[in-house]
Amino acid sequence: MNGFVDTIRQGRKGLVFGNSLYLPFRLDLMSIWVGKEMSLLSSPEVIFDLCEGSRDVAIREEDAWTNIVLRRHGDLGRDLGNGKGHVILYATEKGGDLFIQEQRHYVRVSFATQGKELSFEIIDDPFRL
């Protein structure tokens, strides 16, 4: 099984259903940012509580994929699609060392203009999109 960096570079796509993101890879999450495209007045919602029982997020992992449910959000495709916003995942590869800066990555999750498809991009700085 490839890590998420390789999977993203291969151009694999994910799916969104309502407030549920399906990623074609596994990863160790440190935080999730949900935001509308930036303006002078907007700021992203940052979720750090990724523990079991969190009111904000639920995470389910299978052998080759991850499902992230953002409980306080509605239809993410409708709300963030068509260039209106994105989700940023801050993570390491599954089993990676989060204390080594080079092993931590920001992943931008973008929503298709139509349909349920997600695309992914490794980015250097979530403040410069």
The per-residue pLDDT for range 74-120, each reduced to its tens digit, is: 899 988 888 888 999 999 999 999 999 999 999 999 998 788 999 99
21 and 59 Cβ atoms separated by less than 8 Å? no
Q: Is the pLDDT of residue 40 over 60?
A: no
What does the pLDDT average to over 11-23? 96
Edge to edge, the sheet with strand 104-111 lists 45-47, 28-36, 85-92, 104-111, 117-123, 14-17, 20-23, 66-70, 57-61
pTM for the predicted model, two decimal places: 0.90
